[in-house]
Structure 1
Amino acid sequence: ATLHGNIGSAYNKMDEYAKALSYHEKALELRQKILPLNHPDLVGSYDSLGLVYDNMEEYSTALSFYEKALEMREKNLPSNHPDLTTSYKNISGIYYNLKDYSNAILYYERGVNIEQHSLLPTDPSIKDVKENVS
């Protein structure tokens, strides 16, 4: 499954989205067959599929995959876990692309809040957040 995901990511970077989807879908299918339903590797598959659809500008489908990833993270992680910021930022980006700025800000602020409370002030992510806000 990891190999399929890596190949899918390579095709995504080469803008060959149909091939990327095929490999990421196969990776997800394999993971769903062999892993428990709440396994973190499934989150990676959902994020990867969301990214491909995001790059294809199929935002509603991307949002669906990003929301699945967020749902799994929320079930398996504490509410202030830094990994949640990945989902919040992904979803924020989709809402931004859909010109739904209030939801984009809402999700972005959720990610920022977690980062500011869970990371050291010297962490590079905090610098990125401050630059993005300004």
Structure 2
Amino acid sequence: MGEYSKALSYYEKALEIKQKTLPSNHPSLAISYNNIGETYRQMGEYSKALSFYEKALEIYQKTLPSNHPDLATSYWCMGSLYENMKDYSKALSYFQRALDIKQRALPPTHPSIKNVKQSIEIVKKKL
């Protein structure tokens, strides 16, 4: 646990390979950006995390349908980051976007929907 610098190194290498072989708006790049962003979030380096999450979200918004689960995951990541940054109104907004997509894209009993609802309830209590 906690080998963030090693994880970051591997994620950055993967991103470098993808950048050389894929178009700049390929969803696979967004996955790498999200992974790097999540690692920075776990390390408490929120401004770096935000930068990578925003790159991922931008790609997803341009390339995926508006009800795609990966787009919802990206919104959830942004919500989690803003929750960590104690910007609860922004966190709530992103969590609600994630929930909206998940409710349109997934079966009503999918555990991911429950997880987002829990995130929303936690943030609402902090507002």
- Pairwise TM-score range, normalised by the shorter structure: 0.7 to 0.9
Alignment equivalent of 2:103, drawn from 86, 106, 116: 116
Query: Distance in 2 between the 1:46 and 1:130 partners?
Result: 25
Residue 98 of structure 1 corresponds to 85
> Quick one: structure 1 residues 21 and 107, their matched pair in 2 at CA, closer, same or farther if it must change by over 3 Å?
same
Q: CA RMSD in A?
A: 1.4
Structure 1 stretches of 4+ moved >4 Å: none
| TM-score for the superposition, normalised by structure 1 | 0.83
- Could you list the per-position Cα deviations for residues 49-102 of structure 1 after superposition, in whole angstroms to 9, with x for gaps in the alignment? 011101110011101101111100000011122211111010001111111111
User: 1:132 deviation in Å?
Assistant: 3.8
**Residue of 40, 44, 59 corresponding to 1:57:** 44
Task: Report % sequence identity.
Answer: 59
Count of aligned residue pairs for this structure pair: 121
Consecutive unaligned residues in structure 1, runs of 5 or more:
1-13
Indicate yes or no: 2:7 matched with 1:20. Answer: yes
SS in 1 for 2:69: coil
Please, what TM-score do these two structures have when normalized by structure 2?
0.87
Higher relative contact order (CA 8 A, sep 6+): 2
1:26 alignment partner AA:
K
Q: Which residue of 1 aligns with 2:124?
A: none
Is 1:84 the counterpart of 2:71? The answer is: yes
Structure 2 unaligned regions, length at least 5:
122-127
Residues 124 and 118 (structure 1), Cα distance of their counterparts in 2 relative to 1, 3 Å cut: same
